[in-house]
Amino acid sequence: MQLGAMQVDAISDGTFTVRPEYFGAEGDARREFFARDGFGWLPIGCFLIRTGERTILVDAGMGPDQDELAHGMVLVGGQLFVGLGALGIGAEDITDVVITHFHTDHVGWLFDLAAEPVFPNAIIWYGAADWDYFVNGPGDIRPHIRDGFLAQASRQHPLTHDATVTPGVTAVLTPGHTPGHLCVSLESGPDRLLLLGDAITCPIQLVEPTWHSYGDVDPTTAEQTRQRLRAELETTPGVGAHFPALSAGQLLLPDQWLPRTGK
Ligand SMILES: [Zn+2]
């Protein structure tokens, strides 16, 4: 997608198979979404933003790794560099990595198994409250990722307030799914796009208001954040890290999701 002077590319690192239990869905609601033996197949999304001056990766995928959740749900990563390579981008080209939150499927490519940075020239941006919850607290995190965060602290930019990464790219704190979750607001001329991370996992949540997310650390705050973003999506297109096909869309009233194709 071309957003004014910015080029925005969606890259999937892999696959996330999701069941109705992820959303707390009741009965047979939206059965068509779980059409493959009761699973919906979602991407593990990352977004590359090129402004001319900076090359920014939003989220670092699952990495060459996999994870099993309850109810047989599975995350399998490993494809990010296939997508980056297709765009002519190598690890050393990335100037910034903005992490929406510290769940395993968003930090996987930050550090290798020796806890060394995969993106050698990048500054890493994230919500400071996620460091407290995942690196120092009870949150689940791979040991080499924790060690990388601890060893490479001077190359990181923990945020306690909304912050400008570079003009037109703003990290906006949106807590609830995790304590330090952030979204990325892109703006270039009249064009805007919201990168929602996992604050909204799937657009169906916008039309099924009782659907929460399995991984919400603070469900009440997560729901307040979803409502706030839902209102923004009435005027601004957005895309989450697990939206089908990683395609952006906009909420039309009443309760209708309109996918937008890139221009
Ligand atoms: Zn996720």
Whether residue 261 has pLDDT greater than 70: no
Q: How many Å lie between the centroid of ligand 1 and the Cα of residue 241?
A: 6
Give the environment of ion ligand 1: residues with CB less than 5 A.
Answer: 105, 198
Q: Which residue stretches of the chain are H helix?
A: 20-23, 80-86, 104-107, 128-130, 143-151, 204-207, 219-232
Whether residue 136 has pLDDT greater than 90: yes
Q: How many Å lie between the centroid of ligand 1 and the Cα of residue 61?
A: 8
Q: How many Å lie between the centroid of ligand 1 and the Cα of residue 14?
A: 11
What SS3 state is found at 169? Answer: strand
Tens digit of pLDDT for each residue in 224-248?
A: 999 999 999 999 999 999 999 999 9
Whether residue 41 has pLDDT greater than 60: yes
Confidence (pLDDT) at 263: 44
Q: How many Å lie between the centroid of ligand 1 and the Cα of residue 146?
A: 18
What is the reported pTM?
A: 0.95
Q: How many Å lie between the centroid of ligand 1 and the Cα of residue 75?
A: 9
Q: Which is more confidently placed, 259 or 117?
A: 117
CA distance 106 to 110: 9
Q: How many Å lie between the centroid of ligand 1 and the Cα of residue 217?
A: 13
Confidence (pLDDT) at 250: 87
Domains of the chain by start residue, with CATH: 2-259 (3.60.15.10)
